[in-house]
Structure 1
Amino acid sequence: MMRILDTRFYLFLKQLAEQKEFQSISSLARMLGFSRRTIYHYLEKCNYLLKQEEIESLESVAGKLSLSAKQVTVIESWLKQVGETKYLLKVEERRQLILALLLIENRKWQLGSLQSELDVSRNTILKDIQFLKAQLQKQGLEVKSTKARGYFISTMEIKRRELLYDFVYRIEMERNDPLYETLLELLLGKSKGSERAFSRKARKAVEMAEEILSKKLSEKDLRILTKAMQLYQIRVNSNQPFYWEEIDRPLIHERLEFTAAKALLDGVQELSRPEEYLAEQEYYGALLLCLDKNEDAHFQSVPFGELLQISERIIRLFEKMIGLYIKRKEELTEHIQTYIKVLFYRHQFQMELPAYSLDTVSEQFQKVFGLTKKVMQLMEQDALYKRYFGTAFKNEELAHLAVFFEEAVVKEQTDVSIPKVLIVSDYSDVLNSLLKTQVKQLMPEVMIVGAFSSENARYFPEKVNFCIATDPSYFHFTGQTIHVPVILTETAKKKILRSYKNGEAKPKKREQLKQILKRQTGIEEISERLLNQIKSLYGEISEETVVKHSETAKLETFIADSEFAMVWGKAETLTDVICALKKPLLERKFAQESYFERLLMEMEAHRTALIYPRVMLILTDYRFGSFRAGASLLYLKEPITLAENEEVALFVLIATEEKMTHVPLLFELDHLLQNGFLDALKSDYTMFESFLLSEKGVAKLKNIEYTEGNIKNENVDKK
């Protein structure tokens, strides 16, 4: 049966068979809407296929093209054989396909066979091969060609399997099953029908291995693994031997995965030949160790107590860096420990498996990815970490780790940042379901916490932002109640959107004051915190003293203001340092007193981060009373010595914010510290002068040569 992958070529053949005669190549091109170049390409392809049928080629005489009866009959037979629309390969897909074919190498692939099977021109195949050569060269691999073997990729067997696994991973991530089907058709030909039977058997074997391990793969990872196993099996059937170059065999043999691998191979006997059974068992044992897990019942197992400690240190350091203390820490620890175990095995066996797309994560979760990168740079100095990981994590590995932190941060902020909506209705389930769906369509970003009857809704324990009720007499005890008919009219929809846009109705100041006073037990003894809370209700903020709030707070804004950026000779205590740092942030209402009280408490408990030698970062959870991103800095010419015998010369206090707008300040600070900011301060420059020097890169030099006049000019320009 003839395969036609290019649907445009199918249309070309159909036009030839129907019309049989054309005045010119240009007229044929106009009929089909193709370029003349495309027509000539398709004529070349058609002649190649006619030659295989031992039929004379198509030729144009004086520009005129005519088909003989024999040519038309053959072309019509080709068209009849096409029972369905064939998959049209894109350029990138065709190149992926060629790479997979050369990796599996179950037959000799030459220029002619690739051209014939993929229905493209000789030049196209040559361009594809050149592209693959350039791509593989970056990984130290080479595409070679010999007369006896055709095109092939020269690489170690383990790397070959990694590349095939990566091919399947891409297909699954892009949901490109047609490309995988096309590959199997090229590899298996008429015996492709056995593919589904193999998939069922492989899946059952993997599920048995999961049961032995008490571990669970995601559905997507399970599909990737079974498809990869099928490609490995085709290579095994082609009498291509598998062997390990170098591997830590004792480590594999003592793990439960080695037993699970035996069950897997016994369940799918086509995966190995008797003489290579042990090598295959070791490979699948290592692969099971290196795959991402959804669940791992052994994440706290005895051999990995120290890896668990590494995971906990990573989380603590992340908390210190971001100032957000994660409540659901057990769940996060389990996820990270499960992943750290996987990374340990990947590093141990030097097995590279695809992970989350680095570009996607670094783009979508810029702040968390940057923080994760900084945390792991600090972890590289940790003695326990260095014992298990001789090399630093790659960006792709960091991207996967950042996803866990992003999820944890979002969960911590959910109660505040995502508006919660309660549906209250006494109608039937079907009408309530319709109302719920309509509300979700109107406001997709909200969280609908449930639909309850008016009787049950009164006992709903959580605070909500909005209650949408069908009973006009019902008013919920938290949030704003919006009354609507059960089937929303246009007017009702506008009412919901208007209320949502205006935000949750807030009690007046007098009601807020009542709530504050009710919470006080000994009202005769007025606390400072009570006074601050009352002051925040009625205190006026002068326009002159407010730093303009921006989603992109800049460190320069604070360093240029001498109230936020201070240089002292020395300080007696850490309390004095905090008092100086908090003053401008408190006065200009970046945070309230409770935030700084919490900071002092955490400093006494040594919950601070030395993000750089002699530099202490001080920040905490915004939920303790910080409203917007801000920073104050204090440099001491005589450093303070901490209990750990570490000197601190520069203190940086950060006011945190719910949407993490303070995180860019951390990145800017990191950039300054790497460019000689401290060196400039030691040379008696002011804070702002040191900032200008480090921005220009001058402060990195051992001998700073920068005239005071230049500094002053820079100051004037900045203002």
Structure 2
Amino acid sequence: MLDGRSIQVIRALTTSSYVLKQDIMKEVNLTKRQLEYTMDKINGWIKDNKHQPVRFIKEKASIDHETYTFLLKRIDMDSDHFDSQYLMDRQERMHFIYMMIFLREGYLSINHFVDALEVSKATIFKDLGDLKNDLEEQNIGIEYNRLEGYNLSGDELDLRAYLLKIVLYSLAFNPNRKFIDYFIETNQLIKFEEMLSIISSVMRKHDIKFVENRLIEFTYSFILLKQRLLNHAVRIDEYIDAKDLMNTDEYEFSLSLLKYFDMYTESSSEYLSRCVLGFSAGIHEITNENRNNVMKMVRRFLNRFESFSGIVIEQKEDVIAQLYIHFQPAYYRLLFRIPVYNPLLEKIKSEYSALFTIVKETFKSFEKELDRVISEDELSYLTIHFASIISNFSKQPEYQKVAAIVCPNGIGSSMLLYSRLKSIFPEFIFMEPIEFINLDSVFDRADIIFTTINQVEFVKEKKPYFVVSPVMTDAEISDLISEVYSKINNFQYQLPSFNQMINIVKKYVPEKEFKEFENEIRGSIVDDLSHETYGKVNLELSDIILKEYIQLDVTAHDKWDAVEKAANPLKILGAISEEYINEIKKSMETNSEYLVISNSVAMPHAKPKYGVNKTAMGITVLAKPVKFGNNNKDPVKYIFTLGSIDKESHLKAMSTFIQLISEDSFFEKLNSSNTALEVKEYINDFETRINTA
């Protein structure tokens, strides 16, 4: 029988034509011994099904074509093969137990759990204990009495939120829907396909749109919430006026769906409409006051992002519209305690660490407004959106190969992947990303397919396809380039993969020096192969703040004089031009408030095209503060003048800068220092501390 770990390993084996043991160990978080044990289990199962086992030749997985197709069919989400051959892991058993109690109708005993999960009482008691510990952190309890058996205690909103977490976690981190399907079948709930058909019909009636993955999540969530909505009323915090809510398409959709099942109540309609607002795509026109408020927030956040990142956004209205589509549902998720999971969280934090820090700072004010902590999962999705915004969407000439991108994860992930692939393969024509259900509409036009999901249909069609992630490491990009060019017979570009080269070099480079060599060669390879890939030049804050750019105890008559004097060292040393300073002043004529990024701190900057010769930041401490027109953060005493040659190379420095200006000790140093060298040394020491933390 296969367990969850085996499924994860099979998925890792089938994501690429070139898979190494170390790749699988890293992706599934296994030791070498654990991987060998799991592979023995998988190969035993493969042999039982009359196929050739998976072999490793010099650390590389070798899979027979028929075996590969067999594995894809078995893990395909539309396949039914896992029902009788799937062994739940501990986490899934705990989730199964919670769902049983959540949907409890009548007496529920330990024997019910034993029968449903087919494990011993000792295992059930251990799982129950672990589940209770997890639930305590969510203010949920599991209680038992002889009359009712097991039941849940706590706020109904918290109980439902945990149920949603189970659904989202199962679909995000272990996308094998058979676990939830099995629960639905054993509890005689309405099946997924039937519910999806009903929901889709009601969606069309009310012009509601879901991203493909969100529609799957909502459908499963509604199946599991349905009975609870009818039998348990819930108190809704009135962040949105009920009358305003009733004027939305989401409310009308929820009403129709509930009436279809003859289960309308005021409580159920209010709760479900809020769920729909959190799951659906924010694509409706702004038709009421609340949506206007969301749009105002998006504008404010974009202004804050510009301030903290030092980037002046082009085509701002288009960018605002793009951000709104993601932020509207995110806003309602935060309001109504609807969870979100991002399986790429750690990868995004690693590959976009500087941008993640800037985005986190951008949204701090929102946390205070709503008295809600924005989860790192939510922040990572927002980071993807901002990464796609700052990517270079240059116009492509016409080339021979046409590529389709299949990505059901939402606009942020799709557009990030779109821009990354365009920069990696500039000789291809890329159609805009589509969801899997729409693949037929572009299939005939595409020469190759890039996809974030691995579906057996791609194998059947005999067309080159490549499974990719919206967020790729340098090694993954290198391997992708090699794999793509080898499959399309472009021998001019065939290269050994990063892992192939690194395994050869590992034999001859001492272990102590190997990690440093690996990191350096990784960046070098991808730089050469894709000049426009995000974040290849990562300037440190100490690189852009020279001692000569620092001025202390400067006298200024007003904000105009202050900005002129603060920018002067950068102009004298050739980092920026007079035109650049004039452009800053020009923008101040209409709005100088945006330059003030925190209490007493301003950061003047403009677009690179107005005269930036070198990325640089100056520091000016005024003898007496001056007003910039920001009522909440005036007057300004500290001015950090930024000039950046592009939209990306300075982001790591800005990430450090954000952390630096959150330290009271830094401003104490600015106030007490007698020389620029003292300030420069403080910055160098601070940077070293956070980089080695």
**TM-score using structure 1 length:** 0.60
User: 1:451-466 to 2 correspondence within 5 Å?
Assistant: none
Instruction: Give secondary structure in 1 for the equivalent of 2:596.
Output: strand
Q: Match of 2:618? A: 632
**Are residue 353 (structure 1) and residue 353 (structure 2) matched?**
no
Q: Give 1:241's match in structure 2, choosing from 204, 221, 231.
A: 231
**Are residue 184 (structure 1) and residue 184 (structure 2) matched?**
yes
CA distance in 2, matches of 1:363, 1:626: 29
Instruction: Give secondary structure in 2 for the equivalent of 1:676.
Output: helix
1:599 and 1:618 in contact (8 A); partners too: yes
CA distance in 2, matches of 1:446, 1:101: 49
> Taking structure 1 as reference, are residues 372 and 121 closer, same or farther at Cα in structure 2, changes over 3 Å only?
same
CA distance in 2, matches of 1:568, 1:441: 46
Question: Which residue identity lines up with residue 182 of structure 1 in the other structure?
Answer: Y
**Are residue 445 (structure 1) and residue 424 (structure 2) matched?**
yes
Q: Give 1:615's match in structure 2, choosing from 593, 601, 608.
A: 601
2:576 and 2:614 in contact (8 A); partners too: yes
Q: Give 1:305's match in structure 2, choosing from 276, 292, 300.
A: 292
Q: Give 1:408's match in structure 2, choosing from 378, 382, 389.
A: 389
- RMSD, matched Cα: 4.5
Instruction: Give secondary structure in 1 for the equivalent of 2:548.
Output: coil
Unaligned 5+ segments in structure 1 are 9-32, 39-81, 425-431, 452-486, 505-548, 698-713, 715-719
Q: Match of 1:460? A: none
CA distance in 2, matches of 1:7, 1:647: 58
Question: Which residue identity lines up with residue 664 of structure 2 in the other structure?
Answer: N
CA distance in 1, matches of 2:325, 2:536: 39
> Taking structure 1 as reference, are residues 489 and 696 closer, same or farther at Cα in structure 2, changes over 3 Å only?
closer
CA distance in 2, matches of 1:422, 1:205: 42
Q: Match of 1:68? A: none
Q: Match of 1:656? A: 644
User: 1:311-710 to 2 correspondence within 5 Å?
Assistant: 311-337=298-324, 341-342=328-329, 345=332, 350-354=336-340, 356=342, 359=346, 361-377=348-364, 386=369, 389=370, 393=374, 395-410=376-391, 413-415=392-394, 420=396, 422-423=398-399, 445-448=424-427, 450=429, 492-493=492-493, 501=528, 551-556=537-542, 561-572=546-557, 577=562, 581-582=566-567, 584-586=569-571, 590-591=575-576, 594-607=579-592, 608-626=594-612, 628-642=614-628, 646-658=634-646, 660-673=648-661, 674-690=663-679
CA distance in 2, matches of 1:320, 1:602: 13
> Taking structure 1 as reference, are residues 686 and 134 closer, same or farther at Cα in structure 2, changes over 3 Å only?
farther
CA distance in 2, matches of 1:576, 1:681: 20
CA distance in 2, matches of 1:657, 1:376: 26
> Taking structure 1 as reference, are residues 151 and 303 closer, same or farther at Cα in structure 2, changes over 3 Å only?
closer
Deviation at 1:226, TM superposition (A): 1.8
Deviation at 1:371, TM superposition (A): 1.8
> Taking structure 1 as reference, are residues 156 and 684 closer, same or farther at Cα in structure 2, changes over 3 Å only?
closer
Percent of paired sites with the same residue:
17
1:206 and 1:264 in contact (8 A); partners too: no
Query: Greater CA deviation, 132-141 or 244-253?
Result: 244-253
Q: Match of 2:111? A: 112
Deviation at 1:137, TM superposition (A): 0.8
Deviation at 1:259, TM superposition (A): 3.2
Deviation at 1:652, TM superposition (A): 0.9
Q: Match of 2:268? A: 280
CA distance in 2, matches of 1:551, 1:406: 15
Deviation at 1:247, TM superposition (A): 4.8
CA distance in 2, matches of 1:664, 1:34: 41
Deviation at 1:125, TM superposition (A): 2.0
> Taking structure 1 as reference, are residues 332 and 84 closer, same or farther at Cα in structure 2, changes over 3 Å only?
closer
Q: Match of 1:89? A: 88
Deviation at 1:356, TM superposition (A): 4.0
Q: Match of 1:250? A: 242
2:390 and 2:647 in contact (8 A); partners too: no
CA distance in 2, matches of 1:628, 1:585: 9
> Taking structure 1 as reference, are residues 691 and 96 closer, same or farther at Cα in structure 2, changes over 3 Å only?
farther
CA distance in 1, matches of 2:421, 2:384: 29
Deviation at 1:179, TM superposition (A): 0.7
Deviation at 1:408, TM superposition (A): 1.7
Q: Give 2:259's match in structure 1, choosing from 244, 255, 266.
A: 266
CA distance in 2, matches of 1:373, 1:102: 37
CA distance in 2, matches of 1:106, 1:5: 31
Question: Which residue identity lines up with residue 112 of structure 2 in the other structure?
Answer: S
1:106 and 1:187 in contact (8 A); partners too: no
1:570 and 1:639 in contact (8 A); partners too: no
> Taking structure 1 as reference, are residues 581 and 363 closer, same or farther at Cα in structure 2, changes over 3 Å only?
same
CA distance in 1, matches of 2:281, 2:382: 13
Query: Greater CA deviation, 308-317 or 102-111?
Result: 102-111
Deviation at 1:355, TM superposition (A): 5.2
1:141 and 1:153 in contact (8 A); partners too: yes
CA distance in 1, matches of 2:351, 2:491: 37
CA distance in 1, matches of 2:320, 2:221: 30
Deviation at 1:653, TM superposition (A): 1.3
> Taking structure 1 as reference, are residues 111 and 302 closer, same or farther at Cα in structure 2, changes over 3 Å only?
closer
> Taking structure 1 as reference, are residues 364 and 95 closer, same or farther at Cα in structure 2, changes over 3 Å only?
farther
Question: Which residue identity lines up with residue 306 of structure 2 in the other structure?
Answer: E
Question: Which residue identity lines up with residue 679 of structure 1 in the other structure?
Answer: E
Instruction: Give secondary structure in 2 for the equivalent of 1:415.
Output: coil
Question: Which residue identity lines up with residue 422 of structure 1 in the other structure?
Answer: E
> Taking structure 1 as reference, are residues 124 and 494 closer, same or farther at Cα in structure 2, changes over 3 Å only?
closer
Instruction: Give secondary structure in 2 for the equivalent of 1:649.
Output: strand
**TM-score using structure 2 length:** 0.62
Q: Match of 1:538? A: none
CA distance in 2, matches of 1:503, 1:303: 43
Paired residues, what number?
505
CA distance in 1, matches of 2:159, 2:367: 31
**Are residue 232 (structure 1) and residue 202 (structure 2) matched?**
no
Instruction: Give secondary structure in 2 for the equivalent of 1:279.
Output: helix
1:258 and 1:281 in contact (8 A); partners too: yes
1:620-647: CA deviation from partner (whole Å, max 9, x where unpaired) = 2334443553222121223344466843
2:169 and 2:341 in contact (8 A); partners too: no
> Taking structure 1 as reference, are residues 193 and 616 closer, same or farther at Cα in structure 2, changes over 3 Å only?
closer
1:614 and 1:650 in contact (8 A); partners too: yes
CA distance in 1, matches of 2:3, 2:334: 43
CA distance in 1, matches of 2:320, 2:220: 31
CA distance in 2, matches of 1:339, 1:84: 35
CA distance in 2, matches of 1:695, 1:644: 31
Report 1 or 2 for greater relative contact order, CA contacts < 8 Å, sequence distance ≥ 6.
2
CA distance in 1, matches of 2:179, 2:136: 25
CA distance in 2, matches of 1:404, 1:493: 31
2:540 and 2:650 in contact (8 A); partners too: no
Question: Which residue identity lines up with residue 186 of structure 1 in the other structure?
Answer: T
CA distance in 2, matches of 1:245, 1:641: 46
Deviation at 1:278, TM superposition (A): 3.4
